[in-house]
Structures are given as C-alpha cells and as structure tokens.
Amino acid sequence: MGRFYQTAIRPILFKMDPEVAHERAIAALRLAGQMAPARGLIQALFGAQARHPTELFGLRFPNRVGLAAGMDKNGEAVPALAAMGFGFLEVGTVTPKGQPGNPKPRMFRYPAEHALINRMGFNNKGADFMAWKLGKSYPRGGRKVPIGVNIGKAKATPLEEAVLDYQASFRILASHADFFVLNVSSPNTQGLRDLQEKEKLAEICRLLKLEADAYTRKHPDHELPVLLKIAPDCSWEQIEDILEVLLAVRFSGIIATNTTIARPGVFSSVHQAGGLSGAPLTDRATDVIRFIHDETGGKLPIIGVGGIMDIDSAKAKLDAGASLIQVYTGFVYGGPGFAKFLVRGLDRS
Ligand SMILES: Cc1cc2nc3c(=O)[nH]c(=O)nc-3n(C[C@H](O)[C@H](O)[C@H](O)COP(=O)(O)O)c2cc1C
C-alpha cells in the first residue's frame, strides 16, 4: 500500500494545493469514520497492534506511534484515524472560540526535501465544536486509542491573558480528553513562544495543573495528565528553565518538538515564513529529546516528534529517550499505511 499510495494516490493529491488536499483528506476520513464497513476496511488494511502495548501516565497505548497535532485540528476524523494504525491521536490546536487562522496560502510542500512549511495560525472551529464532535463520534469509555487535546492561545487574546484561554479550553474539553497538551511553541501566533519564558510558563503550568487536579478530585476515575509542547529553537538554557518548571509543577511529560523557524541546508535560500517540518527537522528534534532525557535522568516522559520519516528516524527518537513518538509530515509523504509500517518496523528492530 505504501508504494501504491506513493505512485498512484500521492501524485494526485500533490497536484492539488496542499491545504485543499488536506481538507479533502480530512473530509473523506470524516465520512469513512461514520460508516462501520469503511472503518472496518481501514482497520483491516492499516490497523497496527504492537507486540507490547505501552503504559504511560496511567494510559494504555496499543502502540507507540501517534498522530501529531495539526492534522485533525477539530477532532473531526478521529474514528477513521484511530483505525489507521495510530496508537494515539493528538487533536487541535484548539482555541476557546473558533478563528480563521492566517491568510492563504499558508501550507507549502517541498517534496525533494521531504518537508513542509506552514503558517496556519491555529485555524479551528473552537473548543465547543471539538467537545461536541468528540462526545458524539469517539466518546471516552469505548476508546481504542487515547486522545490528547492540544490547546492554544487565540490570536485576539493579549499575551498577558493567555492563561485564560488555556483554562477556558481545558474546562470545555476536560471530559473528552485522555490527556492535554499546552502548546506554547507554534511559530505562527505572534508572541506565543514568549510563553516559554520561565516566569510566564510557570504561571500557566501551575494554573493548568491546579485545574487538572481539581477535575480529578471531582472525577476520581478520570486522571488528566498535562504535557507541554516545546519548540526546537529553544536554547539549552531555555530548555533547562522549562524542565525546572515542569518538574516543579509535576507535569506529566513533554512533547519535543514543534516545527522550526530555522532554515537549515538548502532552506537557507527559501524565503517562506512559517514552521518547517519533516526531514530537515529530524536531527535537531532528536538532539532536543536526548538533552531532555539526560537533564532529567529520564524522570520526565517524552513524546518525540519532528522529522520521523522512516524506521531509523523513529528508532533514533526512542533511543534518545522518547517513550512515545508522533508523526505529521512523514504521514503526508508516507500515506495511510505509515503508522503500521513504523509499528511493524519498530517491533522487528
Ligand atoms: C500543516 C501543519 C500544521 C500543524 N499544526 C499544529 C498545531 O496546530 N499545533 C501543534 O502543536 N503543532 C502543529 N504542527 C506541528 C506538528 O504537530 C509537529 O510537531 C511538527 O510538524 C514536527 O513533526 P513532523 O516533522 O513529523 O511533521 C503542525 C505541523 C504542520 C506540518
């Protein structure tokens, strides 16, 4: 199927504008997810159960390969994506109210480099819509794979009030999430990455942890792990500060990394604003994971993401200290069988 996708389907998709192709793929998956026979077919073709499931933050992951945030921003295609071999899905980034994101075009392919640049800017339908969608199509209780909800700051919200956005989305979505991810690392919302600065970060993380603890006191059978997603462009000193905060507030883990604003190699002459993902990000993301693992002595669980394009790059993330991994750009280039391909390859290696 990998070869069939790459020679027959990908050329058709890649003739379309990247965002149009993305929207059509999500629409097709949304529809397929509503029909049991179609879901069954997807599961039969692409489903993947690892030899050993992973237990982390009190959750059971059927395999270690997840879908990264940004592919299903509204949680609309979850049943079909869950059947597609992923061990977990991260939906979002979502903001309390819907917003249109940046002007189009805002997603660009670089096939020769196996890369993408995007400046989507958190286009999404809002937290209420996502809560309704998840509740209807993939309710907690009967889930086969855990769902992480990635929350962010709206464009219109001043940076000083960002914490209120995180809190609002958290409250709306708590009963539908298996874990939360605080996104302070997208390069496409002005000022967002400043929230990675120690004091601001501590304030947001502390409040979200209080929210999660309060929720679990009211719902003792529903723990809500909270993770932070960081940028690959942080300095080692910044990462040290971030880790200090996360350990102090007892966050459940860290997701490393988001897209990069660096333009390594041939990208030095590409003048397209936004976050770069895929193969050019592989090594930097792995270095960040290794640094976090070494700094914390493995005490803080890491979800590794960034440029996983094949089995070697997936294995490198795990060897560097990640407990779970996620893919986005590799899935775009590799197609619907990509999760199963990775799960099988990791099982064999
Ligand atoms: C088009 C696109 C949209 C994305 N949107 C989000 C997002 O909304 N929130 C987020 O945390 N990360 C987002 N990401 C980042 C991915 O989740 C991931 O961290 C990054 O792309 C690196 O992984 P990759 O090299 O496998 O793509 C987006 C990435 C792409 C390519």
CA distance 140 to 266: 45
Q: Per-residue pLDDT tens for 240-297?
A: 999 999 999 999 999 999 999 999 999 999 999 999 999 999 999 999 999 999 999 9
**Would the CB of 150 count as within 6 Å of ligand 1?**
yes
Flag whether pLDDT at 2 surpasses 80: no
- Tell me the best of 328, 331, 333, 338 to mutate to test the pocket of ligand 1, counting ligand atoms within 8 Å of each CB and taking the most: 328
**Ligand 1 atom having least distance to the Cα of 69:** 17
Q: What is the reported pLDDT for 5?
A: 87
Q: Give yes or no for a contact between 73 and 92, defined as CB atoms under 8 angstroms apart.
A: yes
Tell me phi and psi for residue 324, to 5 degrees. -135, 160
184: Cβ below 6 Å to ligand 1? no
- For ligand 1, say whether the CB of 182 is within 6 Å of any of its atoms: no
CA 120 to ligand 1: nearest atom: 3
pLDDT for res 315: 98
For 238-273, b/e burial (b = at least 16 CB within 10 A) is: bbebbbebbeebebbbbbbbbbbbeeeeebeeeeee
Residue 87, domain CATH: 3.20.20.70
> Is pLDDT above 80 for 113?
yes
**What percent of the chain has a predicted confidence (pLDDT) above 90?**
89
CA of 37 to the centre of ligand 1 (A): 30
Confirm or reject: Cβ of 109 under 6 Å from ligand 1: no
If you average pLDDT over residues 151-171, what whole number do you get?
A: 95
How far apart are the CA of 224 and the centre of ligand 1, in A? 23
Cβ within 8 Å of residue 143, ≥6 positions away: 82, 178
Cα-to-centroid distance, 119 and ligand 1 (Å): 10
Could you tell me if the CB of 74 is within 6 A of ligand 1?
no
What was the pLDDT predicted at 181? 98
Domain that holds residue 257: 2-348
pLDDT of residue 311: 97
- Give the predicted TM-score (pTM) of the model: 0.97
Please give the pLDDT value at position 1: 57
Q: What pLDDT, in 10s, does the model give residues 12-49? A: 989 999 999 999 999 999 999 999 999 999 999 999 88
pLDDT range class, residue 186, cuts 50, 70, 90: confident
**How confident is residue 198, by pLDDT bands cut at 50, 70 and 90?**
confident
- Which ligand 1 atom lies nearest to the CA of residue 307? 25
Ligand 1 contacts CB of residue 89 (under 6 A) = no
Rounded to an integer, the average pLDDT of 143-158 is 96
- Which is the closest atom of ligand 1 to the Cα of 257? 19
Reduced 3-state DSSP string for the chain = CHHHHHHHHHHHHHHCCHHHHHHHHHHHHHHHHHCHHHHHHHHHHHCCCCCCCEEECCEEECCCEEECCCCCCCCCCHHHHHHCCCCEEEEEEECCEEECCCCCCCEEEEHHHCEEEECCCCCEEEHHHHHHHHHHHCCCCCCCCCEEEEECCCCCCCHHHHHHHHHHHHHHHHHHCCEEEEECCCCCCCCHHHHHCHHHHHHHHHHHHHHHHHHHHHCCCCCCCEEEEECCCCCHHHHHHHHHHHHHCCCCEEEECCCECCCCHHHHHCCCCCEEEEHHHHHHHHHHHHHHHHHHCCCCCEEEECCCCCHHHHHHHHHHCCCEEEECHHHHHHCCCHHHHHHHHHHHC
Q: Is residue 192 over pLDDT 90?
A: no
> How far, in Å, from the CA of 67 to the mean position of ligand 1?
10
Give the largest CA-CA distance in the chain: 54
Nearest to 272 by CA among 18, 73, 6, 14: 18
Residue nearest (by alpha carbon) to ligand 1 atom 7: 70
Going by C-beta distance under 8 Å and a sequence separation of 6 or more, which residues neighbour residue 168? Answer: 96, 127
Mean of all residue pLDDT scores within the chain: 95
Ligand 1 atom 13, closest CA: 70
Q: Mean pLDDT over residues 73-100, rounded? A: 97
C-alpha 292/C-alpha 300 separation (Å) is 8
Q: How far is the CA of 218 from the centre of ligand 1 (A)?
A: 33
Residues acting as catalytic residues: 186
What count of residues does the chain have? 349
Total domains present in the chain: 1
Q: Which sign, positive or negative, has the C-alpha torsion 270, 274, 278, 284?
A: positive
* Sign of the Cα pseudo-torsion (256, 77, 62, 347, in order): negative
pLDDT for the residue numbered 195: 82
Contact by Cβ (8 Å): 6, 337: no
Residue given tokens 């397929």 in the structure block: 32
Q: Would the pLDDT of 50 be above 90? A: no
Beta-bridge mates of residue 126: 97
Q: Write the pLDDT tens digit of every residue in 293-334.
A: 999 999 999 999 999 999 999 999 999 999 999 999 999 999
99 lines ligand 1 (CB under 6 A): no
Q: Which of 192, 191, 228 has the alpha carbon at shortest distance from 209?
A: 228
Residue 305 Cβ inside 6 Å of ligand 1? The answer reads: yes
Between the CA of 70 and the centroid of ligand 1 the distance, in Å, is: 5
